[in-house]
Amino acid sequence: MTRKAVSLFAIACMTFIITGPFAAWIVYKLAQPPGTFSNQVIHPGETFSQTKAGKTLAVWGAPASLEIQEVQCRVDDRPIKLKKERTTTDNKGNEVILLFDGNYTVFDRVSCEGGGLEEIHLSNRFPIDRARKIMIGSLVATPLVGGLGIVLFKRTRSFKKHR
């Protein structure tokens, strides 16, 4: 490699000091609930499925005052265990309550009804287990790649002076 190419590679490695932690922070934010809501509104009794493969699906019910103990959700005729704690959030001015979340495939057919449920809203977020791996990898690689960049940059500069 030429000295100029090594210098450019060293500078690119040094920028990882900023981009590594920034990438970890972005992935952390993408994995936080409630995620990104879809514009789709589903009515009770209708079947629906995950729309984004590889994401964690969260199913929200409206109104937020519904009786969650009376709501029944099923995936391919198997009952789904709903959240016991009442977690609410705002979806475009409409308060919704979390019914359940998890890793479902695009092939799973889900339906919910009962308990005063009027509308169902879906949100997707980055899976937390994958997010942890990326965050740890990014934070561990930051000093290694940044350090490599500093060493290479100093070596190319000192080589230039001795010539």
Encode pLDDT of 10-56 as tens digits.
999 999 999 999 999 999 999 988 888 988 899 999 999 888 888 88
The tokens for 7 are: 């210098």
pTM: predicted TM-score of the whole model, two decimal places: 0.74
Q: What percent of the chain has pLDDT over 90?
A: 60
Residue 29 C-alpha from the chain's centroid: 7
Beta strand pairing status for 56-62 and 72-75?
unpaired
Q: Say which DSSP state 70 is in.
A: G
Each as own residue / partner, the long-range contacts of residues 155-158 (CB below 8 Å, 24 or more positions apart, any chain) are 155/6, 156/3, 156/6, 156/7, 156/10, 157/7
Nearest to 72 by CA among 51, 49, 100: 100
Is 109 in contact with 57 (CB distance < 8 Å)?
no
